[in-house]
Amino acid sequence: MIKFLLSLILLNVILYGLGANWFGFTPSETKITQNNRLPIEYRPQNIQLIKDK
């Protein structure tokens, strides 16, 4: 049981490290094949709200 919990914690740290750029690349920099569509990223600073007068 202790081995199972330690393996879950280790897997969690590895997955977090991949997302946090601990291993030298971010998930968006991975190679995308031609058959796959590019992921769409919405960045908060690029969202503009238009107010009607």
DSSP track, 1-53: -HHHHHHHHHHHHHHHHHHTTTTS--GGGS---TTSPPPP---GGG--PPPP-
Q: What is the pLDDT of residue 26?
A: 58
**Domain boundaries, given as residue ranges, for the chain:** 1-27
pLDDT in tens, 1-53: 999 999 999 999 988 888 777 877 655 555 655 556 666 778 888 778 888 76
- Rounded-to-integer distance, Cα 49 and Cα 53, Å: 13
